[in-house]
Amino acid sequence: MSKIDVLVTFFGATSLILTSVGASRCKQMVTKVLSASMCGVGMLGLLTLLAPFSGISLSLNWFTSFVAVVLGAPGVITMLVLRALFSIG
Indicate the domain borders of the chain.
Answer: 3-86
For 27-86, how does the pLDDT look when each residue is reduced to its tens digit (9 = 90+)?
A: 777 787 788 888 888 888 888 888 888 888 888 889 988 998 888 888 898 898 888 888
d(CA 51, CA 16) in angstroms, rounded, equals: 26
2 DSSP 8-state letter: -
> pLDDT tier at 89 (50, 70, 90 boundaries)?
low
d(CA 40, CA 58) in angstroms, rounded, equals: 13
CA-nearest of 31, 29, 41, 30 to 73 is 41
pTM of the model: 0.64
